[in-house]
Structure 1
Amino acid sequence: MTRRLRYLRTSPTERARAARTLLGRAGIVSVAVLAWLAPYRTTALAREAPLAMHCAEFAGAVLSAELIALPTAGAQIESAAMIGATAPGNQQGGEYCRITGRIKALEPTTPDIRFDLNLPRRWNGRALQIGGGGYNGVVVSGTGVMPFSPDRAPLAQGYATFGDDSGHVGDSSLAVFGLVDEAVTNFGYAHLKKTHDVALALIARAYGRPPQRMYFAGGSTGGREGYTVMQRFPDDYDGVIANSPALNFSGVRLLGVKLGQAEYGKPGGFVAPALLERVYQRTLAVCDRLDGAADGIVSDVDACRTHEADIIDSLRCPLDPGASATALSATSPDACLNDAQLATLLVMRDGLSLPYRLAWDVSGYRGYNVFQGTQLTGSLGLAHQPQRLPVPAFHANGYLFAQGDGYIRYFVARDPQFDSLRFDPQRPGKYRAQLIELSHTIGAMNPDLSRYIARGGKLITLQGLADEVISPNQTIAYHDALVARFGVEAVDGFMRLYMVPGFQHGSGVFIPSVDLLGALDNWVTRGVAPETLTATDIAAATNGRSRPLCRYPRFPRYAGKGNLNLASSFICAQP
């Protein structure tokens, strides 16, 4: 340990000299990191030795708190070892140095931030931070293929990759850490910066220079994290991929509570899966062909919305003088929607409107495309059981309600026994201040991306128009807010938004596979802005067909001839 720590320390004079010499050409590297790097840059080891010869030197090393811009108690490297190209489980096609560690919390009751960092022997000079999902709680390893991307992992392409657990342990459904203030701050935004700074220092130490480009990629919670780093730490990143982003985190959790109340707090409000499937099939019958192709995908969502009233009327239980609608639907649960069941679906369609403002003047949450091709019977859809569990579960009680329930219990009320069915999102009473504070800490609705834009940062966002977890209309609304603030030309200069018909939250009748990282890197390094992309469907039933990924607001329309399974048979049409 003495030998390891010796090269991690420098005198103040050496730090100042290193900072003056290197700051101008390091870009995103802080003065503290440059000083920490200085003694290593001048050694023969840094210039000549392969990574394998000094990977193990990181094991047991301690990084001081001054290397991290946000308050911590420093970082500890727990393991560091080369992973051979033929080692069991290594699918990356080459050797890499795998480093694991933890960033120490300030308070003894706060969990540390656990992180993984992977340093490829053949480095391309770039680094990629990868976001998490749900409530996080599991370390993002950074070794695998990015979701909905081609088979070659970023690590195999030469990227140094890293991720973390956001500062607590547990699966993505557990919100218990909401009782711990420092853990909430870490989850909201601080873990991103802390892990970034530690990884940056280690990358610079390993290769003798900082990365030329720093990227971030994530979806859902990871998508929120992508927007968060642009808003809070714009100097740290050159490009971001932020898919299906949970931008309005507080809003979607509050809507989930309101949805659960409609399902379980109102007599007859539960909508059985068979009836949800009937709703979905009815929307397909009316809207599938509006884009010119009978392919099981509702692509022209705007045109479908004009038929919504007729769709709802066709699903509503008829008025029968001899029997109530509730009795009729109870007798034939998959036949029609009673008033309470329709009210449940309209809660999801209409979203949430609040009589007060959350952070960044947010006043609610945009609704979902319930009657435009969104299937609500999957594992992340609405409730599958008519009884609410004491602790709501994803499949039994619906993803949105289960996650919203945990948010209210642990983050808002801070009472594990609190009954979220008694919580009124519109009139939160004594919890209002806590809700507003949380929306500042966890959320990415700040439309001020001026610093990120000015630095030349780029952004790609992909989301399904049939997403049942993150409302596609909330993502569109944020994009439109950027246009209102900066103008179309400025937004087009840094952002690409691709709304994908038929794609849900990781599932759907069309699941796109496309190389977004390649598109982002090409944009950042060569100035080639992506336009229409081609996505291959990886849904089991239709694997291999392709469609154009059209820039919002365009959508794929069948050209009238050609193979329905080929993207070349479609054009990107204006709504």
Structure 2
Amino acid sequence: MSARWRRWPFARRLRVAAAAVALNIASILLGPGAHTALAAQKEAPLAMRCAEFAGAVLPPELIALPTAGAQIESASMVSATAPGNQQGGEYCRITGRIKALKASTPDIRFDVNLPRHWNGRALQIGGGGYNGVVVSGTGVMPFSPDRAPLAQGYATFGDDSGHVGDSSLAVFGLVDEAVTNFGYAHLKKTHDAALALIARAYGRPPQRMYFAGGSTGGREGYTVAQRFPDDYDGVIANSPALNFSGVRMIGVKLGQAEYATPGGFIPPLLLEQVYQRTLAVCDRLDGAADGIVSDVAACREHEAEIVASLRCAGRKPSRDDCLVEPQLATLMVMRDGLSLPYKLAWDVSGYRGYNVFQGTHLTGSLGLGHQAERLAVPRFFANGYLFAQGDGYMRYFVARDADFDSLRFDPQHPGKYRTQLIALSQTIGAMNTDLARYIARGGKLITLQGLADEVISPNQTIAYHQALVDRFGVDEVNGFMRLYMVPGFQHGSGAFIPSVDLLGALDKWVTRGASPETLIATDIAAATNGRSRPLCRYPLFPRYMGKGNVNLASSFVCAEP
């Protein structure tokens, strides 16, 4: 039997092993007679099986990482005509909690949704910011034009990563087990609990398990591929916060430039001037005057010219005309990134800078600060998203002191906080390039990132991709990964907001071997809704061919920078 097992293809062995796991799960949940119960389940209505979950307890042995088990709080059928159900079908909604080892640690709250008409696949969905809110898994995926995954027949699930609060709150950083949960453990714990429920409901485990998320959810996508490669067949990880400690520290450096340096604050009117100047110089470099800087490499060659035109240089400063040296220095902090004289986990020594002078708009709700005074507790709009998030990280995760003043923190010389910074980068970061096991089992990875992202540096994402190429070679990376860098796209907003079916592309790649190449995205930005552009595989970008409708993707070609 063992010789026959070894002759089977890896994918078949994996499915057989998964079926054995499902039977073991059923044995634990159902007790004696599990084989018979599983067979009978195929004939039992989903509503009957759904009701059985209410009040159920999942023992700790069903979850690979240490927990005190899970408690199902509710399980009920949601009819196709129920108010608020836009999924187009009936499904079983399950809510529960995964208990922590310590009573002082918050539970991991989770939702699982089981469609009546199941396609045999499951999708775990990531969160955002510092999480803190349960990802319901019932809605349409961000920037996807198609129906919600649940409506397509996917069993979906998500969680709150192990604490309660909005995405700006970092107070849970004071609790060790909560930090570990947020960093990576909640992903595995929720996965295992959901897998048990799916196998119990349908009598078999999913044939395919996918993960999808953006920002923090993008980091979570890379995390599951790195830490739990045997659990997933495919991952969509957009705008990933891979270098979590790095992006938090550069946020603190920005705050220091704006609020601890006299004259460093840049009012929104001047930030708008910076953006408009980059458009004036760089918009047409791709052949089309469409409000999008697509040829970022060519635009970078004009950076000195752009900066010189923005510098006051003897002119009398005004609120909307030119920038004085401290204001330019603030922008240079963001452009240059962060270089550290010590190494974080996985040999990381800094954070890559942003495309500040290549079409990134810094006046939005996730941009730089909108008021010249720093609040005692910085907030996104008032003091800038990066600074507010970085300040919370330093207070609660690093210093573990609510009164800590992040404006006095020196990332280059962290002193007594260095050990904690390095430990956190290991727990929360996703910069490990060892994806060998994920590649070997056939896992696929799709990443979409805005070239004008003002929160997650596009150059950090590109650098990680290059590190994979350096490690595995370009052919190996092309065999399992697709990277799409989107001109004009910021962190959920921008001059171009792409709508594209990445889940469909991932599923076709995994199940049919149809690797995605150039994709077509429809713009959902309010001012330009409906125009289309090709999504080009990195390092290509869309160049206008010089004729045809500038609002149609067919008028563009993917070109080398």
TM-score, with structure 1 as normaliser: 0.93
How many Å separate the matches in 2 of 1:246 and 1:41? 44
Local SS of the residue matching 1:379: coil
Change (3 A) 1:254 1:94: same
Kindly indicate whether the alpha-carbon contact (under 8 Å) linking 1:26 and 1:210 is maintained by their aligned counterparts in 2.
Answer: no
What are the ranges of 5 or more consecutive residues in structure 2 without an aligned counterpart? Answer: 1-12
CA offset digits 1:185-207 (Å, max 9, x no partner): 00000000000000000000000
What residue is the counterpart of 1:33 in the other structure?
A: 25
CA offset digits 1:343-385 (Å, max 9, x no partner): 0000000000000000000000000000000000000000000
Local SS of the residue matching 2:550: coil
1:303-314 paired onto structure 2 within 5 Å: 303-314=298-309
Counterpart residue identity of residue 285, structure 2: L
What residue is the counterpart of 1:98 in the other structure?
A: 93
1:129-168 paired onto structure 2 within 5 Å: 129-168=124-163
What residue is the counterpart of 2:468 in the other structure?
A: 482
Kindly indicate whether the alpha-carbon contact (under 8 Å) linking 1:128 and 1:214 is maintained by their aligned counterparts in 2.
Answer: yes
Counterpart residue identity of residue 28, structure 2: W
CA offset digits 1:37-63 (Å, max 9, x no partner): 674442253131121122111000000
Identity of aligned residues (%): 83
1:54-203 paired onto structure 2 within 5 Å: 54-203=49-198
What residue is the counterpart of 1:297 in the other structure?
A: 292
What residue is the counterpart of 1:324 in the other structure?
A: none
Deviation at 1:150, TM superposition (A): 1.1
1:568 aligns with 2:560: no
Deviation at 1:319, TM superposition (A): 2.4
1:348-387 paired onto structure 2 within 5 Å: 348-387=334-373
Kindly indicate whether the alpha-carbon contact (under 8 Å) linking 2:19 and 2:204 is maintained by their aligned counterparts in 1.
Answer: no
How many Å separate the matches in 2 of 1:219 and 1:252? 15
Deviation at 1:507, TM superposition (A): 0.1
Kindly indicate whether the alpha-carbon contact (under 8 Å) linking 2:27 and 2:34 is maintained by their aligned counterparts in 1.
Answer: no
CA offset digits 1:325-356 (Å, max 9, x no partner): xxx32xx1111110000000000000000000
How many Å separate the matches in 1 of 2:17 and 2:218? 27
How many Å separate the matches in 1 of 2:514 and 2:57? 41
What residue is the counterpart of 2:405 in the other structure?
A: 419
How many Å separate the matches in 2 of 1:139 and 1:565? 38
How many Å separate the matches in 1 of 2:312 and 2:476? 49
How many Å separate the matches in 2 of 1:23 and 1:564? 48
How many Å separate the matches in 2 of 1:189 and 1:253? 18
Kindly indicate whether the alpha-carbon contact (under 8 Å) linking 1:148 and 1:513 is maintained by their aligned counterparts in 2.
Answer: yes
Local SS of the residue matching 1:309: helix
1:42 aligns with 2:36: yes
How many Å separate the matches in 2 of 1:214 and 1:495? 17
What residue is the counterpart of 1:4 in the other structure?
A: none
1:110-509 paired onto structure 2 within 5 Å: 110-319=105-314, 328-329=316-317, 332-509=318-495
CA offset digits 1:415-444 (Å, max 9, x no partner): 001000010000000000000000000010
How many Å separate the matches in 2 of 1:51 and 1:26? 25
How many Å separate the matches in 1 of 2:113 and 2:15? 27
Local SS of the residue matching 2:543: strand
Alignment length (residue pairs):
545
How many Å separate the matches in 2 of 1:24 and 1:568? 41
How many Å separate the matches in 2 of 1:40 and 1:28? 13
Deviation at 1:318, TM superposition (A): 1.7
CA offset digits 1:205-249 (Å, max 9, x no partner): 000000000000000000000000000000000000000000000
Deviation at 1:30, TM superposition (A): 4.4
Counterpart residue identity of residue 18, structure 2: G
How many Å separate the matches in 2 of 1:83 and 1:563? 45
Counterpart residue identity of residue 293, structure 1: A
What residue is the counterpart of 1:17 in the other structure?
A: none
Kindly indicate whether the alpha-carbon contact (under 8 Å) linking 1:29 and 1:200 is maintained by their aligned counterparts in 2.
Answer: no
How many Å separate the matches in 2 of 1:458 and 1:28? 22
CA offset digits 1:146-172 (Å, max 9, x no partner): 000014000000000000000000000
Change (3 A) 1:513 1:560: same
How many Å separate the matches in 2 of 1:282 and 1:41? 69
Kindly indicate whether the alpha-carbon contact (under 8 Å) linking 1:40 and 1:205 is maintained by their aligned counterparts in 2.
Answer: no
Kindly indicate whether the alpha-carbon contact (under 8 Å) linking 1:558 and 1:569 is maintained by their aligned counterparts in 2.
Answer: yes
Local SS of the residue matching 1:157: coil
How many Å separate the matches in 1 of 2:219 and 2:157? 17
1:5-44 paired onto structure 2 within 5 Å: 25-27=16-18, 30=21, 33=25, 35-36=27-28, 39-43=33-37
Local SS of the residue matching 1:356: strand
What are the ranges of 5 or more consecutive residues in structure 1 without an aligned counterpart? Answer: 1-21, 321-327
Kindly indicate whether the alpha-carbon contact (under 8 Å) linking 2:15 and 2:207 is maintained by their aligned counterparts in 1.
Answer: no
Counterpart residue identity of residue 443, structure 1: G
Change (3 A) 1:28 1:464: farther
Local SS of the residue matching 1:355: strand
